[in-house]
């Protein structure tokens, strides 16, 4: 397993629509494992393949609290097949938008169909944090960041700050 570099916004590689996995083979399993290791190292509770520069529909999550046993989830070709009518608001963050958070409104519960580590098609119904996290990661696969779901004013403020700190970093290493 390997810890991969995480792409920070704004970056065109975070705005792509990713391709289906189709069948979960050894290469897809290796990607899932590397992504989990990267996510735990960050640390974070979810990661999508485009965040490590891979244009494929794979996400990993673990919403276990600190001190609880790990509950890693590895999903290929995740698809929301049902969403509740009632919404919830959650303060979201993202490893590609470090140190920025915003309230995002999404359906409270969802059912997601996906292929698991063994290429078996499964369905998972979630609410609360796991539901939010699943929707956030699936958005990444279509090039959508959580800031795309908040006001343009707040989005532009966050992206401007990220761009500024990126430029500062480039100058430091130049």
Catalytic residue among 37, 103, 123, 137: 137
CB of 140 to Ni ion, least distance (A): 6
> In angstroms, what is the minimal distance from the CB of 23 to Ni ion?
26
SS (H, E, C) the chain: CCCCCCCCCCCHHHCCCCECCCCCCHHHHHHHHHHHHHHHHCCCCEEEHHHHCCCECEEEECCCCCCCCCCCEEEEEEEEEEECCCEEEEEECCCCCCCCCEEEEEECEEEEEEECCCCCEEEEEEEHHHHHHHHHHHHHCCCCCHHHHCCHHHHHHHHHHHHHHHHHHHHHHC
Total residues at interface with Ni ion (CB under 5 A): 1
Q: Which residue's CB is nearer to Ni ion, number 94 or number 126?
A: 94
Choose the binding region for Ni ion from 26-34, 67-75, 93-101, 119-127 (rule: CB under 5 A): 93-101
- Give the one residue of 9, 39, 61, 94 binding Ni ion; rule: CB under 5 A: 94
Considering beta carbons, is residue 17 or 23 the nearer one to Ni ion? 17
Nearest CB to Ni ion, comparing residues 115 and 136: 136
Nearer to Ni ion, 100 or 115 (CB): 100
Rounded to whole angstroms, how far apart are CA atoms 120 and 134? 18
Q: Give least dist CB 136 to Ni ion, A.
A: 5
Question: Is 103 part of the annotated catalytic residue set?
Answer: no
Rounded to a whole number of angstroms, the minimum distance from the CB of residue 8 to Ni ion is 11
Q: Which residues are catalytic?
A: 137
Which residues contribute to the site for Ni ion (CB under 5 A)? Answer: 94
């Amino acid at each position: 397993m390997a810890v991969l570099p995480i792409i920070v916004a704004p970056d065109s590689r975070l705005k792509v629509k990713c391709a289906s996995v189709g069948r979960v083979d050894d290469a897809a399993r290796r990607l899932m494992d590397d992504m989990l290791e990267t996510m735990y190292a960050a640390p974070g509770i979810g990661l999508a393949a485009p965040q490590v520069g891979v244009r494929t529909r794979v996400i990993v999550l673990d919403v276990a609290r600190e001190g609880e046993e790990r509950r890693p989830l590895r999903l290929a070709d995740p698809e929301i097949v049902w969403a509740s009518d009632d919404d919830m608001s959650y303060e979201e963050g993202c490893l590609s938008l470090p140190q920025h958070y915003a309230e995002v409104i999404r359906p409270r519960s969802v059912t997601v169909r996906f292929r698991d580590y063994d290429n078996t098609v499964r369905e998972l119904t979630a609410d609360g944090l796991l539901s939010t996290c699943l929707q956030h990661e699936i958005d990444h696969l279509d090039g959508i960041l959580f800031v795309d779901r908040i006001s343009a004013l707040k989005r532009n403020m966050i992206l401007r700050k990220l761009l500024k700190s990126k430029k500062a970093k480039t100058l430091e290493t130049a």
